[in-house]
Amino acid sequence: MAVRSLQIPSSSQPLPLTSAVFFLLLLQWRNSSTALLLKLKNHHGGHSHSSGPLFQSNRSSCQMFTGTWVRDDSYPMYQYSDCPFIDPEFNCQLYGRPDSGYLKYRWRPLNCELPRFNGKEFLERMKGKTVMFVGDSLGKDQWESLICLIASSAPSTSTQMTRGLPLSTLKFLDYGLTVSFYKAPYLVDIDAIQGKRVLRLEDVSNNADVWRSADVLSFNTGHWWTHQGSQQGWDLIESGGTYYQDMDRLVAMERALRAWANWADSKVDRTRTQLFFLAISPTHYNPSDWSAGPTAATTKNCYGETTPMSGTMYPGAYPEQMRVVDEVLRGMKSPPYLLDITLLSALRKDCHPSVYSGELSPDQRANPGRSADCSHWCLPGLPDTWNQLLYTAMFY
């Protein structure tokens, strides 16, 4: 089928319409955008986040996402040297991180203790099944954590790794278990049209058939919606048949997430598929979120941080993307289990790769003020706790 010619807009406007029609559509869009943003901003009254998951597991009354980090010398649950599946960007110990105290913390909910992750039990209970993480590099971080947790518990189990785009898969051959990562940073489709990457805010059809076959599905999105310039993953946005160079990023994310939610409500068989959504993973680029006085003035980001924050209140500004996630998931007919890791992760300013990443050059390592990665997480590290929570929600 021929693709109609695209005329690229010269500003953040849709492709040409008559001026009168365009004005009316723009006014309508701005009004709806403003209403949505006001609703989102009012959804959480402060920096605390205590709503918990959207629906509580009927197998546990544990409030898993409110608690504190406690020192535990039995951690980490595996060593980086025992897991060959960790990408260089997450492998902090291999690439020279000098401290290891950040590995010795365990998440303790306020009213219970989490079961320790048991990889052998996971293999036995998930025989012949498929687990799939779908989303951005934070989902990849969690995927690699899970396969390390499982493999370290059963080191003699035969595995087969296949890496590709968008799908990477590790098979535990003796158990018929497949654990995969599907890269889809926005969850909705991106199509190539006349050399332009078009982000389709209402379409998941190119990817969704692959997702639907999994027995356990965990989705995430958030960070890529803020990327601009060379890091932006699209050239044009298509919404409702109209093309835009740009629009309010929260509004775009909300539209895409609603398209994903409609697909999940109508196409995922919840009698056979467990559905999860990973909350927004916070970054630590602003020291004023956790420090005051001269320390905040001299520190530029997470570089050099070696201990968690204390307290049960969210430090700094609550992520706007999480307000969108809350809004959309609450409106679903059958919402996923929300792994509400935003607060507990916000307390871990010490767990990022910083400059200890195989992706950085020596010159970049020498300039942590500009080069430190305070978005992703070291492995072993914080994503192991995300998977301990996933494991608890799945089996307990």
CB 132 within 8 A of CB 216: yes
- Give the model's confidence band at 62: pLDDT under 50 very low, under 70 low, under 90 confident, else very high: confident
H/E element holding 35? helix 19-41
* Structural domains of the chain, ranges and CATH numbers in brackets: 68-395 (3.40.50.1110)
284 in active site: no
Residue 58 pLDDT: 36
Rg of the chain taking only CA atoms, in angstroms: 21
Position 101 pLDDT exceeds 90: yes
Rounded distance between C-alpha atoms, residue 85 and residue 103, angstroms: 18
The residue-averaged pLDDT of 91-108 equals: 97
Residue 46 pLDDT: 35
CB 308 within 8 A of CB 69: yes
Position 67 pLDDT exceeds 80: yes
Strands 190-193 and 196-200: antiparallel
As to burial, measured by CB atoms within 10 angstroms (0-12 exposed, 13-18 middle, 19+ buried), residue 22 is middle
- Here the tokens at position 46 are 């402060």
As to burial, measured by CB atoms within 10 angstroms (0-12 exposed, 13-18 middle, 19+ buried), residue 105 is buried
Residue 298 pLDDT: 64
Q: How confident is the model over 15-61, as pLDDT tens digits? A: 443 434 333 333 344 343 333 333 333 333 333 333 333 323 334 46
Rounded distance between C-alpha atoms, residue 194 and residue 6, angstroms: 8
Say whether the peptide bond before residue 282 is cis (omega within 30 degrees of 0): no
Position 163 pLDDT exceeds 90: yes
- Here the tokens at position 336 are 């996923």
Rounded distance between C-alpha atoms, residue 104 and residue 102, angstroms: 6
- Give the model's confidence band at 389: pLDDT under 50 very low, under 70 low, under 90 confident, else very high: very high
For the chain, give the percent of residues with pLDDT over 70. Answer: 83
User: What is the amino acid identity at position 99?
Assistant: D
Position 99 pLDDT exceeds 80: yes
- Write down the pTM of the prediction: 0.85
373 in active site: yes
Helix (H, G, I), strand (E, B) or coil at 362: helix
223 in active site: no
Q: Which of 44, 137, 357, 371 is catalytic?
A: 137
Q: Which of 350, 373, 375, 384 is catalytic?
A: 373
Position 77 pLDDT exceeds 70: yes
Rounded distance between C-alpha atoms, residue 224 and residue 139, angstroms: 12
Q: How confident is the model over 137-158, as pLDDT tens digits? A: 999 999 999 999 999 988 889 9
Q: How confident is the model over 199-252, as pLDDT tens digits? A: 999 999 988 989 999 999 999 999 999 999 989 999 999 999 999 999 999 999
Rounded distance between C-alpha atoms, residue 231 and residue 394, angstroms: 35
Rounded distance between C-alpha atoms, residue 200 and residue 238, angstroms: 5
